[in-house]
Amino acid sequence: MESERVQDLRRSYTQGNLEEDSMLAHPMDQFDLWFKQACEASILEPNAMSLSTVSAGRGTGLRTVLLKGYQEEGFDFYTNLRSQKARDIQDHPEVSLLFPWIALERQVIVQGRALLLDRAEVDAYFKTRPRESQIGAWASRQSEQIPDRGALENAFQAVRDQFEGQDIPTPSFWGGFRVKPSTIEFWQGRPGRLHDRIRYRLEPSHASQDHWIRERFCP
């Protein structure tokens, strides 16, 4: 594509606006509202989120993962604990998440700390996965180099044969993380690129309860 054509790709964002007095007091309640609206809008993979990490030796990393749960404490996802993302988090647990709901002209950006989920939560979730996904968790040595696609398919078949006729246990090298947010920003596209950006910032209160402050930023 020629650069002139790329620079002409633009649209005006007109679907909504974001006002402080219409937003819910707790950011996870506001996220819940927007997430449900994204699901109702039939957005493809509304739980897809970009996960940004950094490590001492490799620098920054970015990939898309799937949100598998959320609650007041944060956002959950699962992965091979030997993967690059898991190793990055071990080096530096501060991460960022991005939910790109472009069809609604919205984004949610999270900054926080990734904490390992306990094994009971991991095992409970693993049991809900489709059997082929359970097999894949055993077969894929995530982030390791392989000679070709056939090596991966052979490993998959070997695991399938190994557990034929029986329940598949959670691999010891497979687990999950909960991203406990320190900031959550809600972004709504507006005409003239004067987008709305409202960020919730966590400020621990003296009453030992979390206190969230709302702030507006220039786009």
pLDDT greater than 90 at residue 4: no
pLDDT greater than 60 at residue 206: no
Q: What is the pLDDT of residue 59?
A: 87
Q: What is the pLDDT of residue 209?
A: 63
**Whether the Cβ atoms of residue 111 and residue 182 lie closer than 8 Å to each other:** yes
Mean pLDDT over residues 78-96, rounded?
96
Mean pLDDT over residues 65-94, rounded?
96
pLDDT in tens, 159-182: 999 999 999 999 999 999 999 999
Mean pLDDT over residues 90-117, rounded?
97
Three-class SS state of 76: strand
Give the model's confidence band at 101: pLDDT under 50 very low, under 70 low, under 90 confident, else very high: very high
Of 149, 193, 197, 201, which residue is the catalytic one?
Answer: 193
- The pTM is what? 0.92
Residue at 215: amino acid letter: E
Give the distance, in angstroms, between the CA of residue 56 and the centroid of all CA atoms in the same chain.
22
Mean pLDDT over residues 71-91, rounded?
96
- The pLDDT mean for the chain works out to 94
Using CA atoms, how far apart are residues 34 and 53, in angstroms rounded to an integer?
A: 25
Using CA atoms, how far apart are residues 89 and 79, in angstroms rounded to an integer?
A: 12
Give the model's confidence band at 197: pLDDT under 50 very low, under 70 low, under 90 confident, else very high: very high
Homologous superfamily of domain range 11-127+173-217 = Electron Transport, Fmn-binding Protein; Chain A (2.30.110.10)
Give the model's confidence band at 208: pLDDT under 50 very low, under 70 low, under 90 confident, else very high: low
Beta carbons within 10 angstroms of residue 178's beta carbon: 20
Three-class SS state of 20: helix
pLDDT greater than 60 at residue 52: yes
82 is known as an active-site residue: no
Using CA atoms, how far apart are residues 32 and 11, in angstroms rounded to an integer?
A: 27
Domains of the chain by residue range:
11-127+173-217
